[in-house]
Structure 1
Amino acid sequence: MANPLDTAEPGTAAVAARLDRLPVTRTHRRATVAVGLGLFFEFYEVFLTGTISAVLVSEFKLSKAALPPLLASTFLGMFFGALLLGRLADRFGRRGAFLLNLALYSFFSLLGAFSGNAIMLLITRFFAGVGLGAEPPLADTYLTDLLPARKRGKLIAWAYTLAFCGVPVVGFLAKGLTEGSFLGIAGWRWLFVIGALGAGVVFLLRRGLPESPRWLHSVGRTQEAETVIRGLEAEAGQTPAAEPVPAPAPAGKPVRKAAPIRDLFGPTYRRRTIMMTVFHVLQTIGYYGFGTMVPLVLAAKGYPVSQSLLFTALTFLGYPVGSALSLPLVERLERKHLVIGSVLAMAVFGLAFGLANSIALAIVFGFIYTAISNVFSNAYHIYQAEIFPTALRSTASSGTYSISRLASGVMPFVLVPLLDSSGATTLFVVIGAALVLVALDIALLGPRTTGRSVENVAGEG
């Protein structure tokens, strides 16, 4: 079925064909690195507050009741950020939204370093979260728009492999810096400064990236789209397609606005919107639920803190290792099937971890789970942006992804009581059941995408 959102502008198929036939150019590689570095600080931030939570409790004399709101504030900010900035990317462009989210995060992370009390830290964490909230779906959207179809999955997986290095980095930095001070400033404050300055560097790198030519074309800015595409073709040593250059829009004629959100709930895309909404609620229970609950599960089983820290360190190293494992898979296997297979493997090894009766088995099963979970993570980040049309790609990816941020904030209030009342085995049975439902959701409702033009995937409805 023809897709009204991606065929409204004459020449859309030609634009897609020219972008998809390109080899990987210098601009493609630069975009992959710049996006990966931005994601690096997204993961850095997600794991930062939880990693130094014990330090913050001591610094600000927090009660048990005061810590959860502080930890949840970043996720709550991410929820609103994903909703807001994701929509802005469809209305005003991917590049502008990218720069805005980094500017917000960098400013409020730096401000948070100077927090004099828990209230100020909570507020700055919330607004830093707003800046970071749309980072993964914006990254998925921009790279999906820009990269050629046959290399899209592998390059996005490279961006996330770079990004996941932020997890062990924050772990080792937290261990090294929180034990003292530097230049008379407490170590935990330097962690926020490092995040802010790093994001500022990424901001400068991204300023040199081109706007998405697919998005430019979708809103009627055809001359600008042509300029970007010709630049990519020149880099690749290709002769531009023998087609007339689109004429500039008549003076005073407004460009088209982003497609209305209601189109996501119309007959063409309703099924996919529902699929990804259900997906993000359930995958959060498995992916983030495991990482959040593991230290508490080990403590509940009576393992000493030193062994728990060893497990945490090995788990953190598993993030980039697991992401690297996805590189040879994301283009060789159908991504829909890779999401399904990896999430079912997560269910198996998560349950094995819950049943483990020694720290050695817990480390083995936990590391395997973490590695597989990042094959899953890369596959779904690629997948979620491929299945929606250009005019609504960012809105759909960010909007459904925002639900996972909200679920992440709520989850500890559900899973911790479950662990306390029913034990580790029951907890991981629940997590495993959620992951099985994720597999069924994608199997029944998801289209195939690997190696296909995003216009063709979106046009299936």
Structure 2
Amino acid sequence: MSAPSTGGTAPVTVRSTVPARIDRLPWTQFHWLVVVGLGVSWILDGLEIQVVALNTDSLKDPEGGLGLTTGEVGALGSAYLAGQVLGALVFGRMTDKLGRRKLFIATLLIYLIGSGLGGISWDFWSLAAFRFIAGMGIGGEYTAINSAIDELIPSHYRGRVDIAVNGTYWAGALLGNVLGLYLYSESVPVQWGWRIAFFIGPALGLVIIFLRRTIPESPRWLVTHGRAEEAERTIDDIEERVRHSGAHLEPVPESKALEIKELPPLGFRQLTKTFFGTYPKRSILGFTMMVTQSFLYNAIFFTYSAVLATFYGIDRGSIPWYFIPFAFGNLLGPLVLGPLFDTVGRRKMIFATYGGSGALLLVTAFLFQAGVLSALTQTALWCVIFFFASAGASSAYLTVSEIFPLELRGQAISYFFAISQGAGGVIAPYLFGRLIDAAGGEDAAVLDAGPLTVGYVIGAVMMMVGGIVARVIGVDAERKSLEDIATPLSAAGVPAGGVTPGKGPR
């Protein structure tokens, strides 16, 4: 690395091989540390959602719970969602400005505090406030974590790792479901079960926070923020850890160096211009992928219990048993299909997972309308559908985190996350809830499957549209350096074969 003197007030330009040095690393224990230490945020989110989904009756209990109404229990989910959106927007900007490491430690602490306090709530308003705080922490986690993982994982493994990590949401949901079967049973007093549930996530988080203290700041972030010497020391330390694992590292030629000049913080106007002026197709891609998968997931996930109870007569106490295979299907999809996003390619696999899950849901919709499904076959079909949909949904987060310049990565994730949660997290559950009500309710003598069938068709078509958009205007990002996919805004020059600033795929 060199740092020529420019004199006056002109920004200093440095030549750095940091990105190339990261991407040529073999997979070692260091990368497992990054995956485990950072990837737990998705597990925590799945755990949080499932814990609240299962403790509805406990919270409504006037003696052991808080005596909440059904509307108030639903409002707790809204408070958590609102916290996620605000946390993503606030901390997304902060992680681009202050660094990945500071934020992935701070946001985890915020989550620990918010969720832990939920266990000592005394009324609806206190619990809603604590759920909002916990949501802010998790929302901030998404931006800092996905940014850090993408920037620390070598390009050959980035796709499968990011998709697998995002898919572990369902490991958390599965854990919450299994624990809930015990905590909300007659074996545990009502007044203790729901309170203990809120401490499970923080207990896991306390262990993880010690791991995170050993994870360094992203050298890529450091070098683009005028801290080139610190970036060099950090990558030197990472390489030493890798060599200690027995790996041999070839030197990186100077021809792969990237010239970087420090830029002042970007304002909202500049951000908007970059998203929609420089990268309009990528913005459309990110918006489409995030909204379509969020709509499908929130529509099915938040109403599957109502479908089982209303259309198949399943006792609500037995519904958690049906959730277990559903969660397994969602978890296995990213783990099994993830490597193909690095080998077969991003666009082909996104098209296959989005289109495949949409087509399967379309078939399921007509079978549902025909009345030939049972609770078991309906659940089995959901498992297959979301085996593909889960990998596709995870690839949406991967896509928005790698197709924009490094200086905007955290904010890109936060903006598209906020939009998708608003569209999918608010509209979809409400719409599908109304469609289920239109069937006549659990006590109706004859149920009309037509309205919900229409909803399933809408979800299926949206997923297929998302896959088509990705196939047409998607980015072939597999096994490419992040700097080749989207040149940093601070780049003064690029390595041979790189993308000239402003001239890459739009």
Match of 1:125 in 2: 131
Q: Match for 1:41 among 37, 44, 61?
A: 44
Match of 1:352 in 2: 363
Cα separation, partners in 2 of 1:295 and 1:113, compared to 1, 3 Å: same
Letter in 2 for 1:262: R
Q: Match for 1:152 among 151, 158, 165?
A: 158
1:196, 1:276 → 2: CA distance?
32
For 2:113, what is the secondary structure of its paired residue?
helix
Runs of 4+ in structure 1 off by over 6 angstroms are none
Cα separation, partners in 2 of 1:318 and 1:406, compared to 1, 3 Å: same
Match of 1:313 in 2: 324
Q: CA deviation at 1:147?
A: 1.1
Match of 2:296 in 1: 286
> Which deviates the most, 259-268 or 135-144?
259-268
Q: Are residues 1:442 and 2:446 paired?
A: no
Cα separation, partners in 2 of 1:9 and 1:398, compared to 1, 3 Å: farther
Q: CA deviation at 1:208?
A: 1.2
The answer to whether the 8 Å contact 2:216/2:234 transfers is yes
Q: CA deviation at 1:35?
A: 1.3
> Which deviates the most, 193-202 or 98-107?
193-202
- Written as runs of structure 1 = structure 2, the 5 A alignment for 1:82-97 is 82-97=88-103
The answer to whether the 8 Å contact 1:265/1:273 transfers is no
* CA deviations over 1:337-390 (Å, ceiling 9, x no partner): 212211111112223333332223212211111221222133222222110111
For 1:11, what is the secondary structure of its paired residue?
strand
Structure 1: which 5+ residue stretches go unaligned? 1-6
* CA deviations over 1:257-277 (Å, ceiling 9, x no partner): 443343443221233223323
Q: CA deviation at 1:191?
A: 1.0
Which protein has the larger Cα radius of gyration, Structure 1 or Structure 2?
2
Cα separation, partners in 2 of 1:269 and 1:160, compared to 1, 3 Å: same
Q: Match for 2:453 among 411, 419, 425?
A: 425
1:95, 1:296 → 2: CA distance?
41
Q: Are residues 1:326 and 2:329 paired?
A: no
Q: CA deviation at 1:307?
A: 6.3
* CA deviations over 1:411-442 (Å, ceiling 9, x no partner): 32222113333522111011112212222332
Cα separation, partners in 2 of 1:8 and 1:40, compared to 1, 3 Å: farther
Q: Match for 1:393 among 406, 409, 432?
A: 409
* CA deviations over 1:212-265 (Å, ceiling 9, x no partner): 011001111100111111122223333654769x9xx9xxxx964443343443
Cα separation, partners in 2 of 1:93 and 1:17, compared to 1, 3 Å: same
Cα separation, partners in 2 of 1:394 and 1:456, compared to 1, 3 Å: same
Q: Are residues 1:416 and 2:433 paired?
A: yes
Cα separation, partners in 2 of 1:430 and 1:307, compared to 1, 3 Å: farther
Q: Match for 1:216 among 209, 212, 222?
A: 222
1:229, 1:125 → 2: CA distance?
38
For 1:61, what is the secondary structure of its paired residue?
coil
* CA deviations over 1:88-137 (Å, ceiling 9, x no partner): 11000001110111001100111110011111111110111001013233
The answer to whether the 8 Å contact 1:22/1:148 transfers is yes
2:250, 2:358 → 1: CA distance?
50
> Which deviates the most, 86-95 or 57-66?
57-66
Match of 1:3 in 2: none
Q: CA deviation at 1:443?
A: 2.8
Under a length normalisation based on structure 1, what TM-score does the superposition of the two structures give?
A: 0.89
For 2:479, what is the secondary structure of its paired residue?
coil
1:199, 1:216 → 2: CA distance?
26
Q: Match for 2:192 among 151, 169, 186?
A: 186
Q: Are residues 1:227 and 2:224 paired?
A: no
Aligned length: 447
For 1:235, what is the secondary structure of its paired residue?
helix
Q: Which has the higher contact order (CA 8 A, sep 6+)?
A: 1
Letter in 2 for 1:217: V
For 1:115, what is the secondary structure of its paired residue?
coil
The answer to whether the 8 Å contact 1:353/1:361 transfers is no
Cα separation, partners in 2 of 1:445 and 1:241, compared to 1, 3 Å: closer
Q: Are residues 1:11 and 2:15 paired?
A: yes
**Aligned-pair RMSD on alpha carbons?**
2.6
Match of 1:171 in 2: 177
Q: Are residues 1:69 and 2:75 paired?
A: yes
Q: Match for 1:299 among 302, 309, 330?
A: 309
Letter in 2 for 1:287: Y
For 2:340, what is the secondary structure of its paired residue?
coil
1:454, 1:31 → 2: CA distance?
18
> Which deviates the most, 40-49 or 416-425?
416-425
1:394, 1:310 → 2: CA distance?
37
1:64, 1:101 → 2: CA distance?
30
Q: Match for 1:271 among 281, 284, 302?
A: 281
Q: CA deviation at 1:183?
A: 9.1
> Which deviates the most, 51-60 or 392-401?
51-60
Q: Are residues 1:380 and 2:380 paired?
A: no
Question: Percent same amino acid among aligned pairs?
Answer: 25
> Which deviates the most, 432-441 or 108-117?
432-441
For 2:157, what is the secondary structure of its paired residue?
helix
Q: Match for 1:259 among 254, 266, 278?
A: 266
Letter in 2 for 1:438: G
Cα separation, partners in 2 of 1:273 and 1:328, compared to 1, 3 Å: closer
> Which deviates the most, 40-49 or 382-391?
40-49
1:389, 1:294 → 2: CA distance?
38
- Written as runs of structure 1 = structure 2, the 5 A alignment for 1:102-117 is 102-117=108-123
Q: CA deviation at 1:155?
A: 2.5
> Which deviates the most, 204-213 or 18-27?
18-27
1:169, 1:217 → 2: CA distance?
39
Q: Match for 1:141 among 147, 154, 157?
A: 147
1:77, 1:191 → 2: CA distance?
20
The answer to whether the 8 Å contact 1:16/1:214 transfers is yes
Under a length normalisation based on structure 2, what TM-score does the superposition of the two structures give?
A: 0.82
Match of 2:246 in 1: none
